[in-house]
Structures are given as structure tokens and as C-alpha cells.
Chains A and B, each alone.
Chain A
Amino acid sequence: MFSEQLSKKFDKMVTNYPTKRSALVPMLLFAQDEVGYLSEEVIADLAKRVELTELEVKNVISYYSMLHTKPMGKYHVQVCTNISCMLRGGEELLDHCKSKLGIGHKQTQADGLFSLEEVECIGACSWAPAVQVNYDFHENLTPARMDKVLDTYAKKAKQ
């Protein structure tokens, strides 16, 4: 299911706490990073590792906004529109991304390259407006700079 490296990491992680399930949230996130999303198989595997039922794991997944049970784009574009970003053009940036990518909030392009999400504060308020593409921060953006950012990722995908 997982790479040997990740599997080893999980084996260590469950020993970091007095209860195995305590490692669940980070494990879900790391699993998602490697597999792309939390499929039924991933959930079943992790449930065994932390000695929970699959239902219990799903119950946890549905609470956290970064965890997805459906495939996302290769590049997940997360635009912050919370207060500091809103004051600096975050909403306009989101609209720009929507039209540029041709998708809406929580949608994925047909070829799976980009997906888009409007997100809450990502801790970049002093460098607003800000976007995260997967885990990378892009800050002090304008629509023109956003285009460059998106182009860079599109090119990277072709390499």
C-alpha cells in the first residue's frame, strides 16, 4: 500500500504516544500525500495500524478540511479569502483562478492537473493575498503574478 519509507515512519509514529490512535491525524495526512487521496484501501490499512474500525477512521477524516476521500488535482490551489487577504484582493484572486482554470471551489480539472479551493486563513496575513499550491506558499500576489505561478506548475507537470 505505502512505500517502505512511509510504512517504517508509521511504525515509529504509533510508538510516539501512549495510544496508537493518537498518530492517526498525521498518518492520514502523510498517506494522502503519498497516495493522492484517502481511498477505501488506505482507510482500511490505517485502521488496522491504529487498531480502529474503518468507520471510526472515517469519522475522524470528515472533521479535517485538508483530508480528502476523492482524488484532487496534481496541484491543489488553495486561495485564502479571509480578512487580511480579502482586504488585499483575495476574492478577486479567487475569481481570477476560477476563470483561468475553468473550475470552481472544490472542483478538479478534467485532466486532473489543477484543483481549486477557497480556504480560510493560512497564516500569511502580513503577506496577503496568499495562496498555497499543495504545501507551497505564494504570497503578495496579483492576478498577473498568479498567472506566472500557475504557469510554472503547468510547465513542471509536463517535464
Chain B
Amino acid sequence: MADLVSHPDEIKVVSSRFGKGATNIDRYIELDGYKAVRKALDMTPDAIINEVKTSSLRGRGGAGFPTGMKWSFVPKESAKPKYVLVNGDESEPGTCKDRLILEHDPHAVIEGVMIAGLAVGAQKGYIYIRGEYRYLLTIMQKAIDDAYAKGFLGDNIFGSGKKFDCYWHTGAGAYEVGEESALMESLEGKRGIPRIRPPFPAVVGLWGGPTVINNVETLASVPHIMLMGGQKFADFGPPKNGGTRLFCLSGHVNKPGVYEMPLGYPMEKLIYEVGGGITNGKKLKAVVPGGSSTYLLTAEEAVKMNCDFDSFAKTGGFLGSGGVVVLDEDTCMVKFALRVMKFYQHESCGWCIPCREGTDWLKKTLTRFHSGGGVKKDIDNINYLAQNMLGRTFCPLGDAAAIPTISIVQKWRQEFEDHLEGRPCPYENKGIPEPAFA
């Protein structure tokens, strides 16, 4: 459905089967499918976890937590059944990569779930797909059925005597259920209100059993790691930032699309070479590096950045979800901050006060500001309020709302000043670029 793109600097690992008909199980097998899980069946759980640790694979959902380490937290012995849960809620604004994986390579996700299950001793996996992605649910249902029909899933997987069951599940519209504990609540048929931690899901998760929760892309990387070896995967990126990841380029670039780049790839090249530069020959103003929950970068900062977790961490930022949104010189940052806040206010589950009230106040203040009704002390108030949400909310959605706001009000303070005293927005009605795939 969505258009595929290509660039010579790409290293196609997770995307290697895109556009090759791999939704068909026989075609998937031809393309080395279900080899990795067979290999894993001959390995001990510790050996699987060590291979993933060697790959230095880190969570592609946004937080970048080392996957091998996460798996090792699951207790070996457990009175309750253990589970693997795939986070396919993909709702972070700017992010549209899991969709492509599920559309083109659903069996890779199933295989990743099975390998994770073998590693932690789980016999059941659930693949949670956001409600809007209905066509992907259909694709996944068929993929699971086909895998059962071949005896790859079920009571005797690949004739090994081992059991593994895999189920699909769908959401019904809610960003917050992408948060891992809210995801479990949603899967259990409840409102997506997050759970208190500790205990962490690896110890007490779905229906009280130890649960590994990973992003779609994280798990889709695992079969490749098992086949090529953890070290080879690790070597694509800088130390501790192994492998490649899908970057979703969007906004004011000439060639938007989802590109698989090695971690550590320079942001400047990503925007100007891979992305073909800024639309209409304009200048770059800002970059959202990894979905709307990350600190925005100024043009000067962006061109110096390398796209890996640790390069961002060094500057106090986050690489995030892979959603790179590019803003040109004519973008109004006040309006942008407002749109981001409208989103978080809408998606706040309302459970805790700093987030529920904070997002609402910020939305109101930013609305007033953008329409010219702001007063000077509001600028500091926006910053103060957002700073005070940081770290004080029940789940990280509050931080996610505060982070972009803080960076915008601090880095583009002048634009707030330009809106004062009833002045109309100086950026209104500047040109909108033509669609990229016209």
C-alpha cells in the first residue's frame, strides 16, 4: 500500500524482504524464513540471549533499552505462564515503520516472537496491532494460520516436541496503550491505564505472568541476528548501538519515506542526501529526531548529530522511535508546539494530575498565544509548567508532552515574542509542498 523507497546508503536487514511477496509463507521460507527459529531450537536459552546481547540490539519502540538484557530479567522459574507481547500500537506521531514490517514481512515478526519465547521460556505470544491498521491484522491473521498449518506453531513446533502458540490482537484507537503497562491492560480487555512499576512486566506482566514486551521492529530484527550472528549485526553501528533501524522521514523533505540506515548515520546526510533536501529549496529550521516525544533540534544541532542512541544521550536528548520530522524555515514553532500539545492533551488517559491538568493548561496557553492573545510572562510559564511535569507523572506520557514543549520554548523563544500583543502569526499561509509521490 504505502510507497517503498530506496537509497544506496541503506543497509537492508529488517527491510530486506519488503516488496518481495514474503507475506506468502512459501516465499518467506525461500527467503531464509523460519531458519533462525530452527537454529534457536538447537540452542540453550542462555545462548540465544547471549547472541542478542552480542548484537547490542536496543529497543526500537523508542526507549532504546538493550533487548538481550530485558530478556535476561525474566525469571527462569515461574509458577505462572510466561508471555511474549509484541507492541504494534505504533502511534507516536512521525512513526510509520512497523506498518511496513507488518505489511511486507509478518512472518519475521512471528519468528521473532518464537525466538523470544524460546529465550525466556514462554509458550505463548500475542501480537498487538493498533485498530487503525485493520488490513495488517488481516495479513497477520493469515500469516499465523499459515504457520500453524505448516506445523511451525502449535503443540510440536518443527517436530521438536516443543509448544508455541501465537495470537493476534487489535486495539481500538488510543496512543497511550503503546506504553507497555497500558498495553497489557488493553490486552486484558480494560481501559489503557498504566500500571505502577515495580514490579516490571518481565517479572509480573500479562495476567500476572512474566512478560517480555518488545516493539515490532525489535523482534523482526531478531531472526536476522540469529542467522548472521550477533557480531555482524553489531558491527553495522557504533559500539553499543548495534545494527540498522528504520527511519521514517517526513515533513519538508523532497524524498520522504522509510529508509533503513545503520545506526550512527549522520542526520545531515539523512536529510540532505537520503531525503533529497528541503522542499521548495527552503532552509532547514528544526528537526524532530524520533517522534513527537523527543527534544527538537535546531538546524545547527541537527547537522552535527549522528543517529544512534548514545550520541543523542550525550547531548541530553533521545533518538526515539525513528520518526524524523523535518521543518522548514517557514514553520511556525508556536503553532507546532500547540499541535503537539493538542495531541498529548487528547491522548492523556487522565489518571494522574500533572499530566491531565498540565497538558490541558499548556494547550490553552499555547492556543491563546498562537492567536495573538499571549502575554510575556506566559512564555516563562509554559517553560515552568512543562519543566514541572517532567518526572512527576505516573507514566512517561507526561514527559513525552513536556519534552518537545521545553525544547521549543527554549530554543525558539523569539518566535513566542513575535506573537505577543495581538500580532498575527508571522508564518501563516506560507506555501505547502506538493505531495511527494504525486
Q: Which residues of A contact B (CB under 8 A)?
A: 16-19, 21-26, 28-29, 50, 59-60, 62-67, 81-84, 86-89, 92, 120-129, 132, 135, 137, 139-142, 145
Q: Inside 8 A of B437's CB, which chain A residues have their CB?
A: 127, 139-140
> From residue 66 to 102 of chain B, which have CB atoms closer than 8 A to chain A?
81, 90-96, 98-99
Would B2 and A124 count as touching, CB distance under 8 A?
yes
- Indicate if the CB atoms of A64 and B189 lie closer than 8 Å: no
Main secondary structure of the interface of A (DSSP, over half): loop
Closest to B91 in A: A121
B435 and A28 contact, CB distance less than 8 A: no
- Report the count of interface residues on B (CB-CB < 8 A): 63
Contact A25 B189, CB 8 Å, known A16-B167, A120-B175, A126-B257: yes
Q: How far is the CA of A50 from the CA of B189 in the complex (A)?
A: 9
Q: Which residues of A have CB within 8 Å of B131?
A: 25, 29, 64, 66
B45 within 8 A of A: no
List 6 other contacts, CB 8 Å, given A25-B186, A86-B339.
Answer: A22-B189, A25-B169, A29-B131, A82-B339, A83-B325, A87-B251
| Interface pick from B115-123, B340-348, B392-400 | B340-348
Nearest-CB residue, chain A, relative to B90: A123
B252 neighbours in A (Cβ, 8 Å):
87
- Tell whether B384 is near chain A: CB-to-CB under 8 Å: no
Of B12-20, B132-140, B369-377, B409-417, the segment with at least 4 beta carbons within 8 Å of chain A is B132-140
Neighbour of B191 across the interface among A60, A66, A145, CB < 8 A: A60
| Min C-beta distance of B4 to chain A, whole Å | 10
Q: Are A89 and B432 in contact (CB under 8 A)?
A: yes
Q: Given A87-B251, A132-B132, does the pair A121, B93 have CB atoms closer than 8 Å?
A: yes
CA–CA, A128 to B327, complex, Å? 14
Name the A residues within 8 Å of B130 (CB-CB).
Answer: 123
* Cβ contacts under 8 Å, A50 to chain B: 189
Complex contacts, A129 vs chain B, CB 8 Å: 435
Select one of A21, A65, A125, A141 contacting B94, CB under 8 A: A125
Is B149's beta carbon under 8 Å from chain A?
no
Q: How far is the CA of A62 from the CA of B173 in the complex (A)?
A: 11
B429 (CB) vs chain A CBs: closest residue: A92
Chain A residue nearest in CB terms to B131 = A66
Contact of A67 among B2, B90, B172, B207 (CB under 8 A): B172
Q: Is the CB of B91 within 8 A of A123?
A: yes
Which residues of B lie under 8 Å from residue A120 when comparing CB positions? 91, 93, 175, 343, 346-347
Q: Enumerate chain A residues within 8 angstroms of B323, measured Cβ to Cβ.
A: 84, 125
Most buried by B among A24, A28, A64, A141: A64
Residue of B nearest to A134 (CB): B134
Instruction: Write out the residue numbers on chain B whose beta carbons fall within 8 Å of the beta carbon of A19.
Output: 188-189, 207
- On whether the beta carbons of A126 and B248 are closer than 8 Å, the reply is yes
Contacts of B96 in A (CB 8 A): 123-127
A84 contacts B189, C-beta separation under 8 Å: no
B256 proximal to A (CB < 8 A): yes
**Chain B residues whose C-beta falls within 8 Å of the C-beta of A132 in the assembled complex:** 132
B362 at interface (Cβ–Cβ under 8 A)? no
Q: Which residue of A lies closest to B135 (CB)?
A: A135
A103 to B171, CA, bound (A): 28
Residue B174, interface by CB 8 Å? yes
Q: Provided the pairs A120-B175, A122-B132 are in contact, do residues A83 and B169 lie with their beta carbons within 8 angstroms?
A: no
Identify which of residues 124-153 in chain B touch chain A, using a CB-to-CB cut-off of 8 Å.
130-135
Q: How far is the CB of B106 from chain A (nearest CB, A)?
A: 16
Bound: A63/B434 CA distance, A: 36
Provide the bound-state CA to CA distance between A140 and B432, in Å. 12
For the complex, what is the distance from the CA of A89 to the CA of B432, rounded to whole Å? 6
Q: For the complex, is B379 an interface residue (Cβ under 8 Å from A)?
A: no
A47–chain B nearest beta-carbon distance, Å: 11
Q: How far is the CB of B31 from chain A (nearest CB, A)?
A: 24
* Bound form: Cα–Cα A82–B173 in Å: 15
A152 to B135, CA, bound (A): 20
Q: CA separation between A28 and B174, bound complex, in Å?
A: 14
Closest to A140 in B: B435
CA distance in complex: A139, B131 (Å) = 18
B187 within 8 A of partner (CB)? yes
The residue of chain B having its C-beta at the shortest distance from the C-beta of A27 within the complex is B189
Given known A120-B91, A126-B257, A135-B134, contact A21–B433 (CB-CB < 8 A): no
Let me know if B353 is at the binding interface, CB within 8 A: no
- B258 is an interface residue with CB less than 8 A from chain A: yes
Cβ A83 vs Cβ B93 within 8 A: yes
Task: State A16–B288 Cα separation when bound (angstroms).
Answer: 39
Residues of the A chain whose Cβ atoms lie less than 8 Å from the Cβ of B207: 17-19
Question: Closest CB-CB distance, B118 to chain A, in whole Å?
Answer: 21
A152 CA to B188 CA in the complex, in Å? Answer: 39
Q: A66-B131, A82-B339 are in contact. Are A22 and B187 (CB under 8 A)?
A: yes
The reply to whether the CB of B47 lies closer than 8 angstroms to some CB of chain A is no
Chain B residues with Cβ under 8 A from A28's Cβ?
172
Closest chain B residue, CB of each to CB of A23: B189
Contact partner of A64 (CB less than 8 A), chosen from B171, B327, B436, is B171
User: Across the interface, do A127 and B174 meet the contact criterion of CB distance under 8 Å?
Assistant: no
